[in-house]
Amino acid sequence: MGSIVIVGAGECGARAAFALREMGYDGKITLIGAEPHLPYERPPLSKDGLSGQLPPKYVADAERYRVAGIEVLTDTPVSAIDRTDKSVTLTDGTSIAYDRLLLATGARARTIAGTDDASRRIRTLRTHADAEEIRRELAPGRKLAIIGGGFIGLELAATARRLGAAVILIEGLTRILSRGVPEDIAAVVAARHRAEGVDLRCSAKIERIDADENCARVVLADGETVDADLVVIGIGAIPNTELAAAAGLAIDNGIAVDATLQTSDSDIYAAGDCCSFPLCHYGDRRVRLEAWRNAQDQGTLVAGNLLGAGEAIASVPWFWSDQYDLTLQIAGLAEGASTTVRRDLSDSAFILFHLDDTGRLLSASGIGPGNAVARDIRLAEMLIAAGKRPDPQALILPETKLKALLAA
């Protein structure tokens, strides 16, 4: 029957466990997580998980794991991998044998030096426990300072404003969303935040952050100070590779895997936020994606490959962010684009298409209220996967059916 051990009880690990059962695997499955909760989804942590004081949005309840015959160990960190004996060791000394091992260890929030344990007034947002701590400060009359103008920081800013807290967002670069989001779309997002009362400070370098039990103070390089009831640092994430590195597995901006998600050990696979992999649609460029869709896709793919399918990654990167009534969606990666054209869907929704110098569509980025851009972004994703070279002028015209371009 065999035994598959999954280290990392998040979205990716849980999806892989259930997919193994759906694919007919009847051996032992052990899913091991360091947090006290069953696997839950992280995107709500900066949105509804904050605004509604909700419990985690679980991937599945305990009964479903029981029925599927998946043993879930929560609040159980893994301390080591023994590749010779093919076992993992828990922090209490218990050893669990595996025939195949999946590392879905995810990532942790990046911090600023000197703030790790400085005060409860300085937080990051990565876990449900983090969200619970932050939620206590999101109320009228409270002031929140957010470091970082990426998705997490901006989503948190939108939620905090909805709950009545004052928000200052500090970004070191010249604009928000500088990583992978076109400037035209970032400008729409910035304008909306300012209209909602968020104080956006770009090109603001931080000297240090001071804090005590009562308040926090951000000291900027130009001498200006920003006082707040809470400072939340949202400057990206670091892949959790320590277990893999200690076991001698190859590391390259994450646990290095091939196109089938296999590590440098043929019996160990890695998936989700913790791994870097070659992306076939972009010349096998090695990337690491911190994205909900990627965790789901790779969880399913790796389940089959743990059972010998040998299937290569073929999905196109996809990202989204909800802020106020706006939804931003991106399919693909725009790096290497030489031409960008704009398709206006309405007065408040548009899509940018990014093509390389051969005319191949690399990426599409859209923004608008609700689901205004969802259908066209989905079709653009399919065009990218098919390697299409659509006529740029056809992309501009809103009356052009993208489905027709896909069939051409």
Cα–Cα distance for residue pair 152/282, rounded to 1 Å: 26
Residue 99 and residue 247 in one domain: yes
Which residue did the predictor score with more confidence, 141 or 116? Answer: 141
Q: What percent of the chain has pLDDT over 70?
A: 98
Q: What percent of the chain has pLDDT over 90?
A: 90
Q: Check residue 28 and give its pLDDT.
A: 98
pLDDT band for position 51 (cuts 50, 70, 90): low
Radius of gyration of the chain from its Cα atoms, rounded to whole angstroms: 22
The reply to whether 362 falls in a domain is: yes
What domain count does the chain have?
3
Sort strands 230-233 and 122-124 into parallel, antiparallel or unpaired: parallel
The reply to whether 123 falls in a domain is: yes
Domain carrying residue 18: 3-108+237-306
pLDDT digits (tens, 9 = 90+) for 179-213: 889 999 999 999 999 999 999 999 999 999 999 88
Residue 264 and residue 296 in one domain: yes
Q: Which of 48-52, 166-170, 278-282, 381-385 has the lowest mean pLDDT?
A: 48-52
Q: Check residue 213 and give its pLDDT.
A: 86
Q: Which of 95-104, 130-139, 339-348 has the lowest mean pLDDT?
A: 130-139
Residue 359 has pLDDT above 80, yes or no: yes
Residue 9 and residue 57 in one domain: yes
Residue 87 and residue 123 in one domain: no
Residue 116 has pLDDT above 80, yes or no: no
Q: What is the CATH number of the domain that holds 43?
A: 3.50.50.60
Which residues, other chains included, contact 140 with Cβ-Cβ below 8 Å and sequence gap of 6+? 163, 164, 165
The reply to whether 319 falls in a domain is: no
pLDDT digits (tens, 9 = 90+) for 167-180: 999 999 999 999 88
Dihedral angle computed from the Cα positions of residues 218, 221, 222 and 226, in that order, rounded to the nearest 10 degrees:
-10
- From 183, 215, 233, the end of a domain falls on 233
pLDDT digits (tens, 9 = 90+) for 319-337: 999 999 999 999 999 999 9
Residue 138 and residue 149 in one domain: yes
Q: What is the CATH number of the domain that holds 346?
A: 3.30.390.30
Sort strands 166-170 and 199-201 into parallel, antiparallel or unpaired: parallel
Residue 250 and residue 336 in one domain: no
In contact, 11 and 292? CB cutoff 8 Å? yes
Residue 389 and residue 287 in one domain: no
pLDDT band for position 48 (cuts 50, 70, 90): confident
Q: Check residue 113 and give its pLDDT.
A: 83
Residue range 7-30: mean pLDDT, rounded: 98
Residue 125 and residue 203 in one domain: yes
Q: Check residue 35 and give its pLDDT.
A: 96
Q: Check residue 281 and give its pLDDT.
A: 93
- From 215, 233, 251, the end of a domain falls on 233
The reply to whether 117 falls in a domain is: yes
Q: Check residue 1 and give its pLDDT.
A: 60
The reply to whether 195 falls in a domain is: yes
Residue 351 has pLDDT above 90, yes or no: yes
pLDDT band for position 52 (cuts 50, 70, 90): low
List residues bridging with 102 in a β-sheet: 6, 269
Q: Check residue 47 and give its pLDDT.
A: 84
In contact, 370 and 217? CB cutoff 8 Å? no
Provide the strand spans (E) within 37-93.
70-73, 78-82, 87-90
In contact, 280 and 287? CB cutoff 8 Å? no
Which residues, other chains included, contact 388 with Cβ-Cβ below 8 Å and sequence gap of 6+? 360, 361, 405, 406, 408
Q: Check residue 50 and give its pLDDT.
A: 76
Which residues, other chains included, contact 259 with Cβ-Cβ below 8 Å and sequence gap of 6+? 277, 278, 280, 284, 312, 313
Convert 199-224 to b/e letters by CB count within 10 Å (16 or more is b). ebbeebebeebbbeeeebbbebeeee
Average pLDDT of the residues of the chain: 95
Residue 104 and residue 118 in one domain: no
Residue 201 and residue 216 in one domain: yes
Cα–Cα distance for residue pair 256/127, rounded to 1 Å: 25
The reply to whether 315 falls in a domain is: no
Residue 242 and residue 171 in one domain: no
Q: Which of 53-57, 89-93, 139-143, 365-369 has the lowest mean pLDDT?
A: 53-57
- From 273, 306, 339, the end of a domain falls on 306
Residue 53 has pLDDT above 60, yes or no: no
The reply to whether 313 falls in a domain is: no
The reply to whether 96 falls in a domain is: yes
Residue 131 and residue 218 in one domain: yes
